[in-house]
Chain A
Amino acid sequence: MDGRLNDLTSRLAEIAGTAHVITHEHQLATYASDGLLQYAVQPGVVVLPGSAGEVAAAVRACHEAELPWVARGAGSGLSGGATPVEGGVLIGLSRLRRILEVDLDNGRVLVEPGVTNIAVSQAVGPTHFYPPDPSSQIVCTIGGNVAENSGGAHCFKYGFTTNYVTGLDLVLPDGSELTLGGPEVDHPGYDLLGAFVGSEGTLGVATRIWLRVVPKPEAVRTLVAFFGSTVQAGEVVSEIVSAGIVPGAIEMMDNLSIRAAEGATGAGYPLDAGAALVVELDGSEAECETRFDQVVSMCEGAGADSVRVARDETERELIWRTRKAAFAAMGRIAPNYYVQDSVIPRTRLAEVLARIDELASEHDLRVANVFHAGDGNLHPLVCYDGANPGEAERAEELAGLIVKTCVDAGGSITGEHGVGVDKKRYMPDMFNESDLSAFQRLRCAFDPEQRANPGKVMPTPRLCGEVPGPYREHPLEQAGLAERF
């Protein structure tokens, strides 16, 4: 351990107490990766502050020691966003897990960042709920959700984390504290709150967060329909959307995912089905009844092999458990998998899936598909066996080509998992140098020394103070052959 880190470690022990500073090699290893195990970096020291004041003091100490730091919630992120910096500080927020205020009259909750996503809904139930529901909601924290702008199965109708955060207390990378927004909406000034949510820990760390919660809908109706192919199921999605129906959730699984998930939950899904489509409508009783019947006939009209309607909460819960099990259950299909999070305009679904199939056979690998069909967020799971020489590399290459296919179709490299370290190399596929320089302007306003979560999001390191040149149109764009937006 070098001298600077040594001194900082002593300072952190003064701030948070010796019991909350971790320096033992084997304990540090616990923090080397987040949910994306491909990336592992041992931090120099881990500190677990017990209050907002201790977080600010820890960040200030890093600033004074001129050492980088990374904030971490539950470490369940899937883009390596909480991967530590070698020889740097990891600030774990797991001890800040108090729900400070529940105000149902105003639909507001004030929480610390270490509170889990599910705990918010539990705190406001049974009448209210917190809509963003990432699959990891049992463990993932609100602080991490804010950093990643997390979504979930219900965000097609209800929106993302950013639509539910009205204010937060923030520690800037120099250790100073300020408040963005509050329980009220529309505070005067730049919407720095909107810029902060989803900034992946690169602009500072939130220590208290105001969230909006909403009354639970009067009725929920859920079905799962099985089709011969994803194309067929995709057509039903289009039909639902063009009928002006906005389902609470609309999710699709392909054959490989169905088989994996069925193995995990034994829900009785047909193993030969080409696609399973989960549709959930919620809202008013009358609205749900009318629309649900429409959805059932659309599924049947499109040639669904069978349509299963959940008759009670237990059956509904099974449908969701099976859907959410798909990732974890993939271990039954392949020893390793590589998950992607690309988004496409939903209408391009059939052609993109066909292209993914082509790419998969070219690479002699299998790709399972689970996706949020309403908003076009795909989660292709590239299956491989790391024990076979060269297969991991082939899987990574295939995953990259899938991302490019989605961007070329007018989509995005990530819908909800974040860029982190894992997808930063794809950023230039989506953004040109001028776009990236505009991002860097925001970064430099918040963190001129770039000590908050360095090495994430941006594809190449760049300094603050560099004056970016003006954007010049690429010859392909001039010729109308390529469009960057």
Chain B
Amino acid sequence: MAVSGAPATREELAQALRSAGAAGQPVRFSGGATKHQWGAAGAEDALELPTGGLDRILEHNAGDLTAVLEAGVPLARAQEAFAEEGQMLAIDPPDLGGATIGGVVATADSGPLRGRYGGVRDLVVGVRVALSDGTLAKSGGKVIKNVAGYDLAKLFAGSLGTLGAIVEVSVRLHPLQPHSATAIGHAGDADELGRALISVARAPLEHSGFDVCWADGAGSLLIRFAGAAPRPQAELAERLLREAGLGTEIEEDDEELWARQRARQRGEGSDGAVLRVSSLPTRLPALIRATEDAGGSLVGRAVLGLSWVWLPEPSREQIESLRRMLSPAPCVVLDRPQALEVDPWGPVDPALLALMRRVKEHFDPAGVCSPGVFAGGL
């Protein structure tokens, strides 16, 4: 794949994109290139357009809990800057090193904080994009509350660069919390774990993370509390887990625990595949059984019903069978071996696909932004 010279400004990037559009040259935008295998295989002759030159933190308005970042700013660097003021961007996906804010928004990747603070769609308050006819346009703003105009930030979140390039992102920040404590419950029975999950999910608890993991016939629920005095709520959660029959403990030194949860979203080796399954808490036991039947393991946001299933020896048949078993829960294949031939997105309703196609045609009139990569072959 050819790589274009790195644009140093959003205008240069828009100009490069317009030239590609005029020439009918497919492009692929590239931040830290940590999730390039996501989506379907794109055009082989795509020109890579790096955002690395757009790497300025334009604003950090600590008093307003907002920031404006160029797309190529590495998320880790932004977090360091925010942390100096006791703040964070509450988006904590696994980072293999160098993931940029633009890439995180374009993939709508997320981590354990999502349950409390929402995902990319909820924390991005404004976006500036470049389109394939050279247009630079923005939507939203840099205040946390704003309903003027359409919310194009959400449209571009998770669009994998197929509508245009994200060149600038405004985000809402949150205060870092001084203390944390995690209640953990272990079980060897999926139904028992499922019952415990519902019991805690319905309780008046304000968790900052509520995860599940399952491997080799046993699993755990992890419920994290963060704030000035998190211990009492952790104890309440522990009690509920114990009453549901789980073996329990409380961990206050819990960073490592959550880092592991995050890391497992990306799987455990290059031969396997990761499926992101959008389900509901009550369907967790069924999901665990289907995962076990396929010889896999899972990690996920228990209370959101969002799981990452790891299949060590994936095949197309296995993935299709999982999709049938878990229907109507959508299963998207993320990381996977190159040789695995599978539609990573699964079926898309024809009426929805027709509308998505019209959206794609209006935002990418030249049809050059990562063609074929997205759901439904867009």
Contact = CB atoms under 8 A, between A and B. Distances in A.
B137 A241 contact: no
- The interface size bin for chain A is 35 or more
Contacts of B205: 215, 218, 284
Interface of A: 103-108, 127, 148-149, 151, 155-156, 159-160, 162-163, 172, 176-180, 182-195, 197-199, 215-218, 238, 241-242, 244-246, 283-287, 289-291, 343-347, 372, 375-377, 410-419, 423, 427, 430-431, 434-439, 441-446, 457, 467-468, 470-471, 473, 484-485
B129 to A, nearest CB: 7
Contact of B151 (A103, A162, A446): A162
A441 B131 CA distance: 11
A470 B134 contact: yes
Contacts of B202: 104-105, 127, 215
A443 to B, nearest CB: 8
Contact of A434 (B65, B135, B228): B135
B232 A285 contact: yes
Interface of B: 11, 14, 18, 61-66, 68, 86, 108, 118-119, 121-122, 126, 128-129, 131, 133-139, 141-152, 154-155, 157-159, 163, 168, 170, 174-178, 198, 201-206, 225, 227-233, 276, 278-282, 303-306, 328-330, 332, 345-346, 348-349, 351-353, 355-356, 358-363, 365, 374-376
A343 B18 contact: no
B232 A284 contact: yes
Given A106-B305, A186-B330, A346-B64, A419 B154 contact: no
B225 A284 contact: yes
A184 B305 contact: yes
A344 B144 CA distance: 9
A429 B28 CA distance: 33
A185 B278 contact: yes
Contacts of A187: 278, 330
A179 B229 CA distance: 42
A444 B141 contact: no
B244 to A, nearest CB: 14
22 contacts: A159-B122, A162-B122, A183-B280, A184-B278, A184-B280, A186-B108, A189-B353, A190-B158, A191-B154, A194-B157, A215-B202, A215-B204, A217-B206, A284-B206, A291-B228, A375-B143, A414-B146, A419-B147, A430-B149, A435-B149, A470-B133, A470-B136
From A160, A245, A445, residue with most partner B Cβ within 10 Å: A445
B118 A215 contact: no
B153 to A, nearest CB: 8
Given A105-B202, A345-B64, A442-B152, A437 B137 contact: yes
B348 A188 contact: yes
Given A217-B204, A345-B64, A176 B351 contact: yes
Given A159-B118, A198-B151, A287-B233, 4 more contacts: A241-B63, A245-B175, A347-B61, A485-B128
Contacts of A471: 135-137
A192 B359 contact: yes
A237 to B, nearest CB: 10
From A108, A198, A413, A470, residue with most partner B Cβ within 10 Å: A470
A189 B349 CA distance: 10
B305 A185 contact: yes
Interchain residue pairs A-B with the least CB separation, the first 5: A194-B154, A244-B175, A438-B137, A441-B362, A412-B146
Contacts of B64: 345-347, 376
Contacts of B151: 149, 162, 194-195, 197-198
A190 B63 CA distance: 33
Contacts of B141: 343, 410-412, 430, 485
Contact of A415 (B133, B147, B152, B345): B147
Contacts of B18: 470
Contact of A442 (B134, B158, B352, B362): B362
Contacts of A414: 146-148
B142 A286 contact: no
B65 A241 contact: yes
Contacts of B129: 438
Nearest to A148: B147
Given A151-B145, A442-B362, A177 B351 contact: yes
A293 B376 CA distance: 55
Contacts of B147: 148-149, 151, 160, 198, 412, 414-419
From A287, A290, A443, residue with most partner B Cβ within 10 Å: A287
B154 A412 contact: no
Given A186-B330, A439-B139, A445-B358, A431 B352 contact: no
A366 B15 CA distance: 50
B229 A185 contact: no
Contacts of B144: 156, 375-376
Contact of B198 (A105, A284, A468): A105
Contacts of B66: 345
Contacts of A151: 145, 147
Contacts of A182: 328
A160 B145 contact: yes
B159 A190 contact: yes
A188 B118 contact: no
A30 B163 CA distance: 43
Contacts of B280: 106, 108, 183-184
Contacts of B155: 190-192, 194-195, 442
Contacts of B86: 244
Contacts of B374: 189-190
A193 B150 CA distance: 12
A410 B65 CA distance: 14
A376 B356 contact: no
B358 A105 contact: no
Given A372-B145, A413-B148, A445-B359, A435 B137 contact: yes
A434 B137 contact: yes
B148 A427 contact: yes
A438 B63 contact: no
Contacts of A418: 147
From B159, B198, B280, residue with most partner A Cβ within 10 Å: B280
A291 to B, nearest CB: 6
Contacts of A242: 62-63
A178 B349 contact: yes
From A346, A414, A442, residue with most partner B Cβ within 10 Å: A442
B306 to A, nearest CB: 6
Contacts of A191: 108, 121, 154-155, 157-159
A346 B126 CA distance: 17
B148 A419 contact: yes
A178 B352 contact: yes
A445 B352 CA distance: 12
A119 B120 CA distance: 30
A435 B136 CA distance: 8
Contact of A345 (B61, B157, B346): B61
